[in-house]
Amino acid sequence: MTSVLGIGECMIELRREKNSMLSTGFSGDTSNAMIYLQRCNRMIQTSYLSALGDDYYSKQIIDQWKREGVSTDQVSIIKDELPGIVLIENDIDGERRFFYWRKTSAFVLLMEKLPENFAWPKTEYIYLSGITIAATPEKHRMKLQDFVLEQKACGTKIVFDPNFRPLLWDAKTAIKEMMPYITSANWFLASEEDLEGLNLECSDVLKKNSSDNPEFIIRGEDGKITIYGKNKISEVATSRNKAVDTSGAGDAFNGTYLGCRLKGLSAENSAIQAHQTAKTVVMQKGAIVSN
């Protein structure tokens, strides 16, 4: 069975409703992607490397992963710590605005708490994002990078989403920290907004990529999806819904795209199915919609 390891943070998601009350859920970009990946392709063994506390909400997050079929064997439970919190507000077009409380979350301690002799999990694919790196304290980022690149050297394929958030770090720092992952990625899944925020040209970055037959998939603001390879460029035209909430749409696209590719579908057909999933997600509130 094909194995995929996601790395990142899942947080308590607070959402302001029309009556000014707050609804509660759980989300995080790579966590969302693992859930949509598992929904798309049940023949994949998904697991998640993260850290949570021993509180009620951490247990609820664990339960969500288990219900969705995502293994929690690699989740560290740290006594007396808590998950991070994200408050999401939507404008009339469904676009999101984020407010984070995550600097003291359990995930911040993940790399610090791992023992020196920690047995890193063996996996065929690693999925992580720019947010994974940004949420990791700077002094521990090299430990994360070493693990990922060592796995890459042993044959593991890397799936990377830059998911640039200016609230978390500036573009110059983000580029410096992300570039080793971008140039090593087998799949690079990004939006035009990411590339613009980081001042990146996809064709230039692709030339620096060291993987055999990498795929760079770029989601356009107009619904167009462009797929770059070493030797070809293809485009998929799609339509867009009027969004209720765009939270998790990119994650749903990425998880579904990867799931379809691992089923053996072409890049173009995978992009079409992934876009259909994302269209469904934006019509409901919350990053994880009902299955």
Judge whether 288 lies within some domain: no
Cα separations (Å) of 50 from 39, 92, 119, 227, 255?
Answer: 20, 34, 14, 30, 18
CATH number, domain of 211, equals 3.40.1190.20
For the chain, helix (H) and strand (E) counts, in that order, are: 10, 13
From the list 161, 194, 245, 251, the catalytic residue is: 251
**Helix/strand/coil for 23:** strand
Summarize pLDDT for 188-246 with one digit per residue, the tens. Answer: 999 999 999 999 999 889 989 999 999 999 999 888 999 999 888 899 988 777 788 78
Cα separations (Å) of 28 from 129, 132, 227?
Answer: 11, 9, 25
Q: What pLDDT is attached to residue 84? A: 98
Judge whether 218 lies within some domain: yes
Domain that holds residue 227: 2-281
Judge whether 195 lies within some domain: yes
Judge whether 290 lies within some domain: no
Summarize pLDDT for 100-124 with one digit per residue, the tens. Answer: 999 999 999 999 998 877 888 899 9
Query: Measuring CA to CA, which residue among 31, 72, 49 is closest to residue 118?
Result: 49
Q: Which residues contact 153 (CB under 8 A, 6 or more apart)?
A: none
Q: What is the torsion angle, in degrees rounded to the nearest 10, for the CA atoms of residue 59, residue 131, residue 111 and residue 150?
A: 120
Q: What pLDDT is attached to residue 282? A: 87
Judge whether 286 lies within some domain: no
Q: What is the DSSP letter of 220?
A: -
Average pLDDT over all residues of the chain: 93
Judge whether 159 lies within some domain: yes
| pLDDT > 90: percent of the chain | 78
Judge whether 289 lies within some domain: no
Beta strands in the chain (DSSP E): 2-7, 11-16, 22-27, 44-52, 75-77, 85-90, 96-101, 125-129, 157-161, 187-191, 215-219, 225-228, 233-236
Q: How many domains in the chain?
A: 1
More confident residue, 118 or 179: 179
170-179 core/surface letters (b: 16 or more CB in 10 A; e: else): eeeebbebbe
Summarize pLDDT for 135-178 with one digit per residue, the tens. Answer: 999 999 999 999 999 999 999 999 999 999 999 999 999 999 99
Summarize pLDDT for 75-107 with one digit per residue, the tens. Answer: 999 999 999 999 988 777 767 788 999 999 999
93 classed as catalytic: no
Model pTM score: 0.96
Judge whether 72 lies within some domain: yes
Q: What pLDDT is attached to residue 214? A: 96
